[in-house]
Amino acid sequence: MDRVISGVDQIYHLAAVVGVKYVVEDPLNGIYTNVKGTEVVLEKAYKYWKRTVIASSSEVYGKSGNVPWSEDADRVLGPTTVARWSYAMSKAIDEHFAFAYAAKGLPVSIVRYFNSYGPRLDPKGYGSVIAKFITQARLGQPLTIFGDGQQTRCFTYVTDTVQGTILAGTVPEAAGQVFNIGADRETRSSTWPGSSAT
């Protein structure tokens, strides 16, 4: 990391364990990878004084019902006995690390991603609901909807996600700030053609 970080102008730290399935299957790996990885990146960014962007997640808000979520909104999480919440906590710790370094003057920003999608999206990976829907539709299968289909999500096209991330890392006033990177139009899963609740 010393060799890599000392040789770059900026850092966009996007690496993490993501996806509820992977977090629930191995929460220790998720916590360790997300928190330790960010700790190391920020430590080296501070050592070599590099402009840094840390990728976080809308998951930090947990199950807060106070929408739309603003960057300074309260967080509402479930019990620590439920492994799913370890991801939200690990990303929140990443943000606390970033803000602690920002308090020491490091030019660091945080971006919280909201359901990004676009070309080459892996159906087995993060944000897979869009990829799974497309795969099922192409195969003529009904779209799998969990629950009653009344839940909503805001989906963000990848070019908007990339633009927001780059701006967070290049606009001087963005240093020391956190930004939600997402769309503001909700999509109800029951409105997708061919959907059926399970």
Which residues carry out catalysis?
Answer: 87
Question: What is the DSSP track for the chain?
Answer: -HHHHHT-SEEEE-----SHHHHHH-HHHHHHHHHHHHHHHHHHHHHHT-EEEEEEEGGGGBT----SPPTT---B---TTSTTHHHHHHHHHHHHHHHHHHHTT--EEEEEE-SEE-TT--TTSTTHHHHHHHHHHHTTPPEEE-TTS--EEE-EEHHHHHHHHHHHHH-GGGTT-EEEE--S-EEEGGGSTTEEE-
